[in-house]
Every structure is written in structure tokens, then in C-alpha cells.
Amino acid sequence: MARKNKANLQRLFEQNRQWIKSVTSEDPQYFSRLVDQQNPEYLWIGCSDSRVPANQIVGLKPGEVFVHRNIANIVVHTDFNVLSVIQFAIDRLKVKHIIVVGHYGCSGIAAAMNNTKIGIADNWIRHIKDVHDKHHHELQLIENEEKRLDRLCELNVIEQVINIGQTNIVQDAWAKGQKITIHGCIYSLKDGLLKDLDTSIANASELIQRHRAQLAG
């Protein structure tokens, strides 16, 4: 069993060597330049789903986007992991844009919507159930289950945009005049398209307006 596991890893090491040859044949200075380069304008907060790779989707090179991923792209005010990423991105990297990126057909959101038991992750996706409960009236009007799931995926992104804007990290940065815009987007696995959910927030007053609209909706 140990030999088999080692063989599986060996394949990754071999592919790594092939990748290095491919990259350096096209750009001999690739790694020497990368060592001194981490100056991203974007913080990407996305889902852990292996089919949603941040850099490839938007055609950005390593060093051009700072990435945090978790199940269902959730931002919780008690999660010091995501809060630490946001603070580092804002205070040290000086990113100008924070992008929450969900994707249609998210299995974490589907589990929350269908009350599917997963295990310890049930505690995490409880936050999605809160989003579902908040927008229950709108969702129950959607008869098609796939479309209902897609809408919940969108609503979850919108709620996380608001959550980010409500953090003291972002609030303090805005108060100091730092230019940071929070965006919400959703990705389709079916065609690869990234859709803007038109929920961008660039200051505290826009956050208040967006939050009021969500409560009213």
C-alpha cells in the first residue's frame, strides 16, 4: 500500500518537472521574476471545488491574484482564517478589489438546501441554511429545483459580499480612505462564463444601501 501511495505521488513529481520544462522553455525568466513578485490587485474568495481554479478562470498569472477558498465561499465573522486573509490582503498587499466567487451547482449549497447530512461540515454549511431561511419566500416561488439551487448560489455570494463589507478590517480601511471595492460573481461549470451579480460595494454608504435592499427583498 505504501509503495502504491508513493507511486501516486511520483506521478505528481514527474508532472511538476514536465511543467517546469514547459514554462521555462516559453519564458526562461519565469521563476526568477516570480520570486520577487507578489503584487496582486485582487483577493479572490471562492469555493474549494477543484473545478473552479481562480487563476485559470480569469486568465491571471501567479502573483496577480491572492486566493482564499473554502466550502461554498463563505465569510463568517468568527472565522479567523478568512479574516486573516482579508486583513493581509488589505493591509500588506494593498489589494484594490475583493471578489467573492460562487459557482452554480455548488454541492455545499445543495447539501444545505436539501438538508443532506455530511458530518462536521454540517456546522459550516449551517451558514448557508441561514441564507436560505432569510430568502425563503423568494426561493419557494421557484418551482424548478435546479434553478432554485442556482438562485441560492447567487444569494449566498451576495450575502458574503455584505459580510465582508461589515468586517472591521474593511470598515477601517474605508475610513482611512483606502480604495477597496467588493464584488460578487458566479461561475458556470457548463460553459466557463463568469457572471457579475451587480452587487459591488466601494464604501460604507453603499454597504448600508445594499444591506437595506437585501432586508427589504
Is 5 exposed, middle or buried, given 0-12, 13-18 or 19+ CB atoms closer than 10 A? Answer: exposed
Residue 185 falls in the annotated catalytic set: no
Choosing from 47, 127, 153, 210, the catalytic residue is: 47
Choosing from 68, 103, 127, 210, the catalytic residue is: 103
- Give the HSE-up count for residue 44: Cα atoms under 13 Å, Cβ half-sphere: 25
Residue 47 falls in the annotated catalytic set: yes
Choosing from 68, 69, 97, 106, the catalytic residue is: 106
- Which H or E element spans position 32? helix 30-35
Residue 49 falls in the annotated catalytic set: yes
DSSP strands (E only) in the chain:
42-47, 65-70, 97-103, 181-187, 194-196
Choosing from 49, 97, 150, 183, the catalytic residue is: 49
Instruction: Compute how many other C-beta atoms are within 10 angstroms of the C-beta atom of residue 61.
Output: 12
Choosing from 33, 51, 92, 212, the catalytic residue is: 51
How do 65-70 and 42-47 pair as beta strands? parallel
Distances (CA, A) of 20 to 9, 17, 26, 54, 63: 17, 5, 10, 20, 17
Give the neighbor-by-neighbor strand order of the sheet with 65-70.
65-70, 42-47, 97-103, 181-187, 194-196
Name the residue among 131, 100, 110 with its Cα closest to residue 196: 100
Residue 106 falls in the annotated catalytic set: yes
Please list the active-site residues. Answer: 47, 49, 51, 103, 106
